[in-house]
Amino acid sequence: MCHVGDFEEGQLGKTIAIIGGGPAGLMAAEILSAKGAAVTIYERKATAGRKFLMAGRGGLNLTHSEDITTFIEKYGVQAPLLGPVVRAYTPQMLRDWCEGLGEITFVGTSGRVFPKRFKASPLLRAWIGRLEAQGVQFAMNHDWLGWDDDALLFKTADGNLRVKADATLLALGGASWPRLGADGTWVEILAQAGVDVALLLPANCGFHVAWSPLFSAKFAGQPLKAVNATFKGKSIIGDIMMTAQGIEGGAIYALSSVLRDAITLEGPVTLQIDLKPDLGLAAVIERLSRPRGRESVANHLRKSLGLSPVAIGLLMENPDRQNFSTYPPLRMAQLIKQHTLRLDAPFDIARAISSAGGVKFTSVDAHFMLIKKPGVFVAGEMMDWEAPTGGYLLQGTFATAVQAAQGIEDFLFG
């Protein structure tokens, strides 16, 4: 890498600085180093791929196996912009790349794609080994501060360091899980350079609910299984996890963007939950109409409908809980089939799985080079797009990195 006063040429006489050691930065480094460029990855933490490893703790969901058109629709309002990028680096291409590193993939029952060994760590080790074999250099504990005239400026344990490079890729991530390295501090740097950046917001996040102290103490950490959550006509069947402060989990993450945006515009919103989606209203009424005898309401709900303690506890959060046992079957069935929860606000972005917002597409060219900073490219989650969990986040990250790497190649060698 071209440190001031210490020039090192690559095979093609070009040096590339990649800032950020997550999957976007690593993928671009792989592509560009294979072309013979001298690539250095600058990472603010002591190791690379920290959030990648965290994402793989419960099973690394690389991508999804569904039809490409349906896949692209998951990018919402940015689907027209991200669609061509994902078509240029498809889920199958990502699977082939993974298998090229010795990690065979498989399709789960939900259509999600995972490495056979399920974890991120074996894949990351093989990947870094490939990068090192291709001559990629790693500069750890380098915190990017912006530019000093025409040089990149980093804070290190030995003081500030100026670096010149022929091209730069910013792959700095969003602002979720900041302890893993991405905290959004780059927003102000780019704003000062005249780059338009959309406000970073929590995505795939949970929401605050004002539980009673009893419910919070008893049910925090327990899942509400296989319910149907609906908001503004969009319904998701899945699990909802109770927390001491509110709710999160797969069904909530899938609705989080519309919930978040509605709260921003309207204030607190109401989420509707069908606690028994496998039964119609008439069937629920019929079961609740059976003689209860001396059973408690909770036991009657458990035996007649198979409701879990969490679901029953949720019903007992009804403001009219004192009279709940006197409800006729129709009214109780309606509460079960159309239970409502008031969501006050999203959880903080630091707790979100990912973030929305970032560098606006109007600030970059077709290959993600900053219009205001020629020779500086961006990729990954720091760009203004979001996606649900299920493989769409990583696929978008890899695909934008491939697009940016192609742009750097064209800029330097084309």
What CATH number should be reported for the domain holding residue 128?
3.50.50.60
170 and 54 share one domain: yes
Together in a domain, 218 and 327:
yes
> In whole angstroms, how far apart are CA 46 and each of 16, 56, 117, 156, 287?
20, 19, 25, 11, 59
Kindly state whether residues 167 and 38 are assigned to the same domain. Answer: yes
Residue 1 within a domain: no
Domain hosting residue 21, numbered range: 15-200+357-413
Using CA atoms, how far apart are residues 302 and 287, in angstroms rounded to an integer?
A: 11
In a domain, 351, yes or no: no
Tell me the pTM.
Answer: 0.90
Same domain, 33 and 80: yes
Three-state SS at 341? strand
Percent of the chain with pLDDT over 70: 97
Same domain as 284, residue 251: yes
Rounded Cα gap, residues 62 and 71, in angstroms: 13
Average pLDDT, integer, range 188-194: 96
Number of neighbouring beta carbons within 10 Å of residue 191 = 11
Residue 8, in any domain of the structure? no
Task: Say if residue 237 is in the same domain as residue 267.
Answer: yes
Mean pLDDT estimate for the chain? 93
- Give mean pLDDT, residues 357-374: 97
Is 6 within a domain? no
In this structure, the answer to whether residues 238 and 320 fall within a common structural domain is: yes
Judgement on whether residues 60 and 146 belong to the same structural domain of the protein: yes
- Binned at pLDDT 50, 70 and 90, residue 83 comes out as very high
> What total number of domains does the chain contain?
2
Q: Which residue has the tokens 């990649």?
A: 18
Domain for residue 352, yes or no? Answer: no
Q: Do 220 and 181 share a structural domain?
A: no
User: Residue 270 burial by CB count (10 A; 0-12/13-18/19+): exposed, middle or buried?
Assistant: exposed
Domain contains 35 = yes
Q: Are residues 331 and 234 in the same domain?
A: yes
CB-CB neighbours of 247 under 10 Å:
23
pLDDT at 320: 76
